């Protein structure tokens, strides 16, 4: 693994990926989605009292791995940031008939490019979907992909934010109403996890227990699941059948390395 102590002096950071890294369902004060990558950038900027820190977020919702490689990786080669976070392939794995072995091969090819252009590369494993409706059936495929990602990180000296092991996201409050994207608190937990993976000390524990809450009854859960299916699952399936993406006509929110 790479020596992550050097990341304490990071001056620039580019985030690559899809809706997870774009920050969906974590609205910022300006109305633009923030998300874990923006929150991580804030933590890194705080460590530079001279204010010399630049950040780009190239992620766009709905993007597949090949689209991320074609659209976002060249930006990293052009700008050469000190840190890149590269979280991709999740949308590929969700597609029927996808092969996690083949997706991982393309992911590693992109990592090789990024390692040539950036000082440090951090990748994220996929979440454990055992408690998520519909997605729980993909748990084995996600686990296989995660095994590849860890091997890729070992071979190429990448840091790893291990989302599979993050128990805090097993709580419903870590997720927004669509159950596909993190809530603001969920994004904060991931930002803390990523900081730790880089060797950045943080005061809060990303896996700190949640406050006690009301536990829904089986009847309440059924009603919630029906409402979720109507509001989110069926439209999502419809877009898949029509070949549409939530990211159609969406551009990166922060395409250049600019002061934070």
pTM of the full structure: 0.90
Tokens of residue 201, six digits? 């000390």
CA angle 163, 165, 167 (to 5 degrees): 95
Contact 232, 179 (CB under 8 A): yes
CA 259 to CA 56: how far, in whole Å?
9
Domain boundaries defined on the chain: 4-208+216-259
pLDDT in tens, 188-200: 999 999 999 999 9
Instruction: Calculate mean pLDDT across residues 240-250.
Output: 69
Percent of the chain with pLDDT over 70: 93
Whole-number Å distance between alpha carbons of 182 and 169: 9
Task: Dump pLDDT digits (tens) for 97-129.
Answer: 899 999 999 999 999 999 999 999 999 999 999
Residue 245 predicted with pLDDT over 70 = no
Q: CATH number of 4-208+216-259: 3.40.50.1110, 3.30.360.10, 3.10.450.50, 3.30.830.10?
A: 3.40.50.1110
- What is the distance between the alpha carbons of residues 247 and 63, in angstroms, rounded to a whole number? 7
Write down the pLDDT at residue 117. Answer: 95
């Amino acid at each position: 693994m790479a020596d992550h102590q050097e990341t304490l002096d990071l001056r620039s950071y580019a985030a690559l990926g899809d809706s997870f890294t774009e920050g969906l369902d974590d609205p910022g004060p300006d109305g633009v989605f923030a998300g874990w990558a923006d929150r991580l950038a804030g933590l890194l900027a705080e460590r530079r009292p001279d204010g010399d820190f630049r950040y780009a977020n190239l992620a766009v919702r709905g993007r597949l791995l090949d689209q991320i490689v074609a659209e976002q990786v060249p930006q990293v080669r052009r700008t050469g940031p000190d840190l890149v976070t590269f979280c991709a392939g999740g949308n590929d794995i969700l597609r029927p008939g996808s092969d996690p072995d083949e997706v991982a091969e393309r992911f590693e090819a992109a990592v090789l490019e990024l390692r040539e252009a950036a000082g440090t590369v951090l990748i994220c494993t996929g979440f454990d979907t055992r408690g998520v409706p519909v997605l729980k059936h993909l748990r084995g495929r996600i686990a296989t992909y995660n095994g590849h990602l860890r091997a890729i990180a070992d071979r190429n000296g990448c840091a790893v934010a291990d989302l599979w092991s993050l128990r805090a996201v097993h709580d419903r409050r870590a997720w927004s109403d669509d159950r596909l994207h993190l809530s603001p608190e969920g994004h904060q937990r991931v930002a803390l996890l990523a900081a730790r993976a880089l060797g950045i000390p943080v005061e809060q524990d990303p896996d700190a227990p949640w406050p006690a809450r009301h536990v829904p009854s089986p009847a309440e859960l059924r009603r919630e699941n029906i409402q979720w299916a109507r509001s989110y699952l069926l439209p999502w399936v419809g877009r898949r059948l029509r070949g549409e993406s939530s990211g159609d006509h969406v551009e990166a929110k922060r395409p250049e390395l600019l002061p934070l």
